[in-house]
Amino acid sequence: MTRTMHDSFAKEWMQEVLADFGDVEIEKQIAGEVRKIDLYFCPNPDALEALKDLGLLGRMVSKPALLEPYRNAVSRRNIRNSRDKGFQFEEELEREAKRAKRKLRSKDYPFIWILTPTLSPRLQKMSKGEEKRGWGPGIYFLAEIDQTIVIAIHQLPKTIDTLFLRLLGRDNVQREAVTELLALPPDHPYRGETLRHISRLQINLKLRHNKTKDLREVIMNLAPAYDKWLEETLTQGRKEGRKEGRKEGREEGHEEGSKETGITIARRMLQINLPIETIVQVTGLSIEVVQSLQSND
């Protein structure tokens, strides 16, 4: 999968998850040469407690943060480029503060989080990245003045605290994270939302032409999450459909009750932008009915 494809998953998923906690911007453009930061997040002060449900990810974004996820292992140039974009962003913040006659505090300056599936010992040494007490393995802080942290996803411990970041890893790391996600209790705050977003990505990836070997592997890694989401969506849709049918006195009309169930399921599937053809195949509804639901929604 190309970096652009990985960005699609990483940025869109984090944007959706973090939207409840503050202001999120993807592909934040900075002044000067046309350059973009993958994701900029500024937390809502009232949401800091709730961010703890996201584990390490929530801790990272408890202060203003710039996030740069990479699909392939970062290079020396990648680290320098991300760090330089952070400096340019700081200059832009200072210009805006000056125009508004507002003084910036140290906590207003964002940290730069570089997410890489792997990190070589040589590059870690070159960048002088050091682990910091209280943060655990795989998290390397560069010079304090840089406000830059490199997260080596493959080195993160396999705990619930790191789960949401390990979903952005590669190969076995990503596969194991998906398995752990499915094992979470059904009522976990972000299990359902994450499954839904992974499912949307899975559909979009399958529709791509000329799939690379890397892309096919990602599709396989995410398949269990999609299958589980679809199973739970169909089950819940049938329950809601039967409930609606009983409520409207349709218990005796099996055909009508089945249609009501299909409509409920179709609405859920439309929410994640599944192709109409897929919805028709799963629900048995006509294309016209599904299209009308799409228009109404």
142 vs 5, 111, 166, 168, 178, CA distance in Å?
28, 11, 21, 22, 30
Q: Is the pLDDT of residue 183 over 50?
A: yes
Alpha helices (H) in 152-253, listed in sequence order: 163-166, 171-183, 191-206, 213-247
165 & 263 share domain = no
Range of the domain at 233: 192-297
Instruction: Convert the pLDDT of each residue in 92-125 to its tens digit.
Output: 888 888 998 888 888 888 999 999 999 999 999 9
DSSP letters of 90-109?
HHHHHHHHHHTT-PPPGGGS
End-of-domain residue from the set 156, 183, 210? 183
End-of-domain residue from the set 162, 183, 204? 183
Structure tokens at 74: 């970062």
294 & 201 share domain = yes
Structure tokens at 216: 């096919």
- Which residues pair with residue 148 across a beta bridge? 112
233 & 287 share domain = yes
| Single pTM value for the model | 0.76
214 & 96 share domain = no
51 & 174 share domain = yes
149 & 249 share domain = no
Q: Is the pLDDT of residue 271 over 60?
A: yes
pLDDT confidence bin for 205, thresholds 50/70/90: confident
179 & 289 share domain = no
175 & 230 share domain = no
End-of-domain residue from the set 132, 158, 183? 183
Closest to 197 in 3D by CA, of 273, 291, 277, 282? 273
Q: Is the pLDDT of residue 237 over 80?
A: no
Q: Please state the domain count of the chain.
A: 2
279 & 168 share domain = no
Report how far residue 65's alpha carbon sits from residue 254's, in angstroms, rounded to the nearest whole number. Answer: 54
One-letter amino acid for residue 156 of the chain: L
DSSP-based three-state secondary structure for 110: coil
Q: Is the pLDDT of residue 258 over 60?
A: no
169 & 215 share domain = no
173 & 210 share domain = no
